[in-house]
């Protein structure tokens, strides 16, 4: 399961859920998001600020 976490607020982007509020359907891989995509929770961090959560990095 593809997951990336915002380093600012902790929001986790899950490809299976997408970001429908911003027009990204469920199943949208993180790699398909534009570089200037902002965290939908804090709107402060952009895609380069996201990282794989530790519990899924192994």
The per-residue pLDDT for 37 is: 96
The per-residue pLDDT for 16 is: 97
Q: Write the pLDDT tens digit of every residue in 1-58.
A: 799 999 999 999 999 999 999 999 999 999 999 999 999 999 999 999 999 997 755 5
The per-residue pLDDT for 33 is: 97
Q: In degrees rounded to 5, what are phi and psi of residue 31? A: -65, -20
The per-residue pLDDT for 1 is: 73
Closest of 55, 54, 56, 51 to residue 7, by C-alpha: 51
Measured between alpha carbons, how far is 47 from 35 in angstroms, rounded to an integer? 6
Closest of 11, 2, 1 to residue 46, by C-alpha: 11
The per-residue pLDDT for 11 is: 96
Q: What is the pTM of this model?
A: 0.86
Quick one: how many helices (H) and strands (E) in the chain? 1, 3
């Amino acid at each position: 399961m593809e997951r990336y976490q915002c380093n600012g607020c902790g929001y986790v982007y899950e490809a299976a859920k997408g970001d429908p509020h911003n027009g990204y359907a469920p199943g949208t891989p993180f790699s398909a998001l534009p570089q200037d995509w902002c965290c939908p929770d804090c709107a402060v961090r952009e895609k380069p600020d996201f990282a794989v959560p530790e519990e899924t990095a192994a």
